[in-house]
Structure formats: structure tokens, C-alpha cells
Chains A and B, each alone.
Chain A
Amino acid sequence: MNTLEKDVIVADRLTKSFGAFTAVDRICFSVAGGEIFGFLGANGAGKTTAMRMLCGLSKPTSGSAQVAGFDIARQPEQVKRNIGYMSQKFSLYEDLRVWENICLFAGIYGVKEKEIRRKTTETLDRLGLARERNTLVKDLPLGWKQKLAFSVAVFHEPRIVFLDEPTGGVDPITRRQFWELIREAAERGITIFVTTHYMDEAEYCNRVSIMVDGRIAALDTPLSLRASFRAQNMDEVFRRLARKATRE
């Protein structure tokens, strides 16, 4: 963690309201370059809404945020060019072959064809999917699909990658391998912004924020959070905070 650059995500009183309901309420935080940032919260706490704003998918009601140095409300195009995104649902095309998916998404981000060819081989080798190059994605096991989806999301070497519950429904062994990929990407300097339900995964993060009722209730390293809540593990920290929630 000695190579941290300056902050690549800065949120300042970022707010999103839907009518009278305030889904995200004046959150402030910043994420340093190369950091693995865990974005936790119970269902409905507002984390997906916050993440969608940071990705330029939805406009903030008030407040502001910079992602990769660009304003999310005024320069969503530049923001999108500098991030990778892996949605909660599966984010590859099931009826396209493995290499077709890679080519399509890399092409969207303007990766040169020669570069795509070289890196595809490299990526598939690392994932152990070299022989599945021509396989339709729907024929791959779920764990492989998720790892592939992550590799596609960081294929163009974005400044930041947003992962929305990337390990949902995946077995523990694959989850470990998945986090291995995340760590490798972070070492290459890609900032990781990840939401998760699994508290053991929170331990892998450099810093963790916990959202309750649209606000950030706690933000620190897993170690300090455990210490200040005098908790055995992150699960306990999370449950103490989430108990204070007033909305479903």
C-alpha cells in the first residue's frame, strides 16, 4: 500500500432523492488510487444508488463527486471512459463466445485490435480458460463466468473498477480465487470499489465504509473498525451498525 496515488474518487455531500425518499443522504468520502475500497450496507441502505451515481448512470440530486478527476454530473462521458463496471447481474453475453465477449467490450473502450489479441491470450492463460476461447459463455460454470466477467471489466486497464456484489452465489473456493484477481488488479494500480454481502470479504479490503439509511455510518480500515467497536470480526461490526437502521 505504499504506492497509493492521490484520491481517484471524491464524494462531497453526494445526495440522491426519489421524490420524498432520500436514498443517498449527503455522503462524503474519498478513495485513494490503487486502494481496495469495500462499500458495505444492508439491502436498501443506498449503496447501489450511490454506485450508480459514481458510474455516471444516474445524476445526483445535490452534492458532487469526482471520479478519475472528472465531475460525475457534468462529465459523465469522461468518467465512463476511465472506469470498468461489473453489475450485480451477470454482465457478459451468454450467447457470445468467450473471445467475442472480450473483443466486444475491449472494443467499446477503444483498446486497439492488436492489443486485444495479445491480451486475450494472456488473460485466458491466467484464468486457465485458454481451451475455452471458442466456448459460448453460457456453457461455462458460474465461477468461471464471474472471473471472466471481472477480467473483461479490467481488460482496458481502467483507473477504477466498480464491482456490484461480484461474488453473489459463488462457492467459497471460487470466491478466494476471485479476490486473488482483485488483489492482482489493485497491484497493477487499478482502484477497486466493491460492494459485498460477505463480511469475510470485507477483511480483504484496505478500507471499508458501512452505509446505514443512506448515510455512511462508519469508514475505516477493517482493523480499526474492529478495534473501535471492540468486535471479533467485521460481521459483528456490521450487525451493530445495521441494527440502528430505521428503514427497511
Chain B
Amino acid sequence: MKHAAAHTFLSFIKKEFFHIFRDVRTMLIIVGIPVTQILIIGFAVSTEVKQVPTAVYDPLKDASTRAVIEQLRASELFDVRTMLEHPDEIDRVFERGEASLVVVFGEASVQLVVDATDPNQGTTTAEYASNIIHTAGASPLQIVPEVEMLYNPELRSSYNFVPGLMGLIFMIICAMMTSIAIVREKETGTMEVLLASPVKPAHIVVSKMIPYFLISWVIFVLILLLSVFVLNVPVSGNLVWLNVLTLLFILVALSLGLLISTLVKTQVAAMLVSSMGLMMPVMILSGFIFPIESIPAALQAISAVIPARWYIAGAKKLMIEGVPVYRVAKEMLVLAGMATGIILISLRNFKTRLE
């Protein structure tokens, strides 16, 4: 009997893979979304700067400053267009969009004012400019460049997006796709046939979750490889614990999908609930786009119940900061607690809804 049950369970998992691989739309979502997202992020972290519109304020007008300006002109990176006559003009050239970089020569220093609306572009520009000034500035002036970032002093660099992106992708694949897969069976009528058969309801549900669990893991490995080898995002923490954290989050997302499937009757409703109810909060309240610290206190409180917030925080610590695992213990415990709670609620719901 035990053997037969295991056999049925395996054939259910196989059937679920067939559902996924034979449906063009499902495949598009599962493969298309991660790939396009990573491409978009890939372009966003593109560090190429060329012909940066540059203005110079040079009250000294001596040989050494002229040498620096010549060097800037000679490089393909900068397009020195405007010579400013007065320090007040600095703000004006930024406002009019005439320059992304202003080089301000002072008595003993050179100040670089950079438009950091795009933080990567800003950092790169500043770096290149100070390099050139260093090389050109082998002069008695002893130039010490100071960099001041405008508009985005925090300089959240794009690779912080990778953990956020993973949070979003797993929500889509696990929560949305699982809920749709379960509700589809309700809609088509096969769910009733299964429930009238000796298969245990828990087996039906778990066999739906396993393929998405495995696919998510493959995608996770893929994202890691892409981020390390294509986007040059370091994975400085412990890889094993990063996997544990991610699998915990995937479990939370899957159980959310299960919960949604017990609440709605149609695939369209499942899609709407998961996109409005899960993806929007992930975008807004998880720290993916807006740092948690900078959103209003009330929203910060709400963000505490968003699983992605904990995942993204933990993943950032493990991936980027490379902290030891005890520093993410809180995030892991929260995620584990959420997974257990949601699974219990949705299994109970799943049973009572059959009536």
C-alpha cells in the first residue's frame, strides 16, 4: 500500500511537469520573466559612460588647471562644453540638464559635482574624472579630489537589485503559478474527480508544489550564476545558507499560492489576487525599490508581514555583506514561522472548502 501511494504521488508530480512544459503561457512566465528581468538589470548596471556633458569652473586659470581640462577634453569620456564664470552657475547647468559633471577648481583642491540621478552612471563618472585629474595633476598644486553626490547620496548600487529581483521572481513563479495551477483544476472539473478518488488532498496539493519548488531552485542557481559571471555581483557569504534562506522563502511563496487557491474560484481571480496582493507589496514594501528606512513608519510596520522584506534583507546580508549566518537567524526564523503558519491555515481551508 505504501509503495502504491508513493507511485501515485510520483505520477502526480510527473503530470504536473507535463502541465507546465506543455503550456506555452506557463513556460513564457516561468522562463520569460526571469530572463527579461535579468536582462533589464544587466542593462541597468551597464557602467559605460561616454561623452558625459561636462562644465568647468576655473577661477585660477593657471597652467596646472589648464592641463587637467586638456586631459578631460582629450578623453572620449567627457565632453567639456561649458566654461562657467561664477559658482552660482553650477546649479543652473544641472537644472537645465547641460551638464552631468561640473569640475570646480579651488585653491588647493578640485571638487567634482556629479548628477547621481543614476547612481551607477554617477559613480563611474566620478571615478573616471578623478582618475584623469590624478594623472594630470602631477603638479605643485597637490590636487585632492573631493566627490559630492547630488540627488542620491545613498548611492544604492544596482546589484542590490539582485536580491530584490529574486524576491519578486519567486513570488511570481511560486505564489502566482501554484495558485493558478490549483484553481485551473477546480475550473476544469478535474479537482472534483481527484477528490472523489482515494488520493489524499494533502498529496494533491504537495504534488502541485514540488515542481514549482524545483523549478524555482533551478532559477535561483541560474540567477546566482548570471549575477556572478555576467553582472559581477559578488556572493561573499556562505552559499549553503543562502540556499537555505532562499528555499525557506520559496516555501513561503508556495504556501501563499496554496492559500490563494483556497480563496478564489477562477484562474483570473488567482492571477489578480497574487499580482495585486503579493507582487505590488513586494515591489513597494519590501525594500526592493524604496529602502525600508525611508518609508513612513506606518508602512514600515505593514512591511513586517511581507515575507519578501525578510528575504531581501537576509539575502542582501548573506550575498553582498557576507555576514556570518547568526546575523540572519532572525530573518530565517520569521520566514520559517510564516511558512508553517500559512501552510496550516491553507490546508485547513483547502479541506473545509470542499464541502
CB-defined contacts of A88 to chain B, threshold 8 Å: 189
Q: Which of B7, B22, B196, B355 is the most central at the interface, judged by chain A CB atoms within 10 Å of its CB?
A: B196
The interface bits of chain A over 184-213 (1 if a CB of B lies within 8 angstroms of the residue's CB, else 0) are 000000000000000000000000000000
Which stretch in B11-19, B82-90, B284-292 binds the other chain? B11-19
Interface centre among B22, B193, B199 (most CB of A within 10 A): B193
For the complex, give the distance between the alpha carbons of A100 and B22 in Å: 13
Looking at chain B, what size class is its interface with the partner chain? 20 to 34
* A/B pair count, beta carbons within 8 Å: 68
Q: Is the CB of A100 within 8 A of B18?
A: yes
Q: Is the CB of B189 within 8 A of A93?
A: no
Interface SS of A by simple majority: loop
Q: Report Cα–Cα, A198/B165, bound state, in Å.
A: 56
Give the complex CA separation of A91 and B195 in angstroms.
Answer: 12
Contact A86 B193 (CB under 8 A): yes
Cβ–Cβ contact A95 & B192, under 8 A: no
Instruction: Mark each residue of chain B from 1 to 30: 1 if its CB lies under 8 Å from any CB of chain A, else 0.
Output: 000100110011001001100110000000
Q: Is A87 a contact partner of B197 (Cβ separation < 8 A)? A: no
Contact of B15 with A100 in the complex, beta carbons under 8 Å: yes
Q: In this assembly, does A175 line the interface, its C-beta being within 8 Å of a C-beta of chain B?
A: no
Q: Are A58 and B190 in contact (CB under 8 A)?
A: no
Interface string of A223-238 (1 = CB under 8 A from B): 0000000000000000
Indicate if the CB atoms of A85 and B196 lie closer than 8 Å.
yes
A91 and B18 form a contact (CB under 8 A): no
- How many Å lie between the Cα of A56 and that of B18 in the bound state? 29
Given A58-B354, A89-B188, A95-B23, A107–B193 Cβ distance below 8 Å?
no
Contact B11 A104 (CB under 8 A): yes
A107 close to B19 (CB less than 8 A) = no
Measured between C-beta atoms, what is the minimum distance from B28 to chain A in Å? 15
* Complexed CA–CA distance, A90 and B19 (Å): 17
Query: Cβ of B97 < 8 Å from any Cβ of A?
Result: no
Chain B residue at minimum C-beta to C-beta distance from A94: B188
Residues of B within 8 A of A147 (CB): none
Interchain CB contact (< 8 A) of A87 among B192, B198, B355:
B192
A104-B15 Cα distance, complex, nearest whole Å: 8
Q: Is the CB of B189 within 8 A of A87?
A: yes
Question: Which B residues from 183 to 223 make CB contacts under 8 A with A?
Answer: 188-190, 192-199
Contact status A107-B192, CB under 8 Å: no
CB distance from A218 to the nearest CB of B (A): 27
Query: Measured between alpha carbons, how far is A103 from B18 in the docked complex, in Å?
Result: 14
Given known A-B contacts A90-B188, A95-B23, A96-B15, A85 and B193 have beta carbons under 8 A apart: yes
Closest Cβ neighbor of B194 among chain A residues:
A108
Q: A93-B15, A93-B190, A96-B15 are in contact. Are A77 and B198 (CB under 8 A)?
A: yes
Interface size in chain A (residues, C-beta < 8 A): 31
Contact B8 A57 (CB under 8 A): no
Shortest distance from the beta carbon of B140 to any chain A beta carbon, whole Å:
78
Q: Closest A-chain residue to B12, C-beta based?
A: A104
In the bound complex, CA of A24 to CA of B23 (Å) = 40
Bound-state CA distance A56–B192 (Å) is 11
| Cβ 8 A contact of B192, one of A57, A93, A100, A136 | A57
- Residue among B7, B12, B18 with the highest chain A CB neighbour number at 10 A: B18
Which 7 pairs of residues, A with B, have the shortest CB-CB distance? A89-B189, A85-B196, A91-B193, A87-B192, A55-B196, A87-B189, A95-B22
Which positions in A face B, CB cutoff 8 Å? 55-59, 77, 80-81, 83, 85-96, 100, 103-105, 107-110, 136, 162
18 contacts between A and B (CB under 8 A): A57-B192, A57-B196, A57-B354, A59-B355, A85-B192, A85-B196, A87-B189, A87-B196, A89-B188, A89-B189, A91-B189, A93-B15, A93-B190, A96-B15, A100-B15, A104-B11, A108-B194, A109-B197
B positions within 8 Å CB-CB of A: 4, 7-8, 11-12, 15, 18-19, 22-23, 188-190, 192-199, 354-355
7 more A-B contacts (CB under 8 A) besides A95-B19, A100-B15, A105-B193?
Answer: A57-B196, A58-B355, A94-B188, A96-B15, A96-B18, A136-B22, A162-B196
